Amino acid sequence: MKTEIIGTSDGSYTIKNEYFGETYHSINGALSESIHIFINLGLRNYRDSEISILEIGYGTGLNAMLTYIENMQLGNKIEYHSIEKFPISEADFIEYATNTKQISDKIAPDTLRKFGNGWNEEIQISNNFKLYKQVVDFSQFVPCEKYNLIYFDAFSPETQPEMWSEENLGKIVEQLVPDGIFVTYCSKGIVKQALRNLGLTVRRMPGPAGKRHVLQAIKHIEKCY
Helix or strand run (H / E) with residue 73: helix 62-74
Scored b (16 or more CB within 10 A) or e, 76-92 reads bebbbbbbbeebbeeeb
Q: What is the DSSP string of 192-212?
A: HHHHHHTT-EEEEEE-STT-S
Minimum CB distance to ligand SAM, residue 19 (Å): 9
The residue number with the shortest CB distance to ligand SAM is 59
Minimum CB distance to ligand SAM, residue 212 (Å): 19
Q: Which is nearer to ligand SAM, 79 or 153 (CB)?
A: 153
Q: Which is nearer to ligand SAM, 188 or 199 (CB)?
A: 188
Q: Which is nearer to ligand SAM, 35 or 62 (CB)?
A: 62
Helix or strand run (H / E) with residue 129: strand 129-135
CA distance 143 to 175: 7
Minimum CB distance to ligand SAM, residue 80 (Å): 12
**How many residues does this entry show for the chain?**
225
Q: Which is nearer to ligand SAM, 118 or 199 (CB)?
A: 118
Minimum CB distance to ligand SAM, residue 93 (Å): 10
Name the site residues for ligand SAM (rule: CB under 6 A): 24, 57-60, 62-63, 83-86, 137-138, 153-155, 160
In the 8-state DSSP scheme, what is residue 25? Answer: S
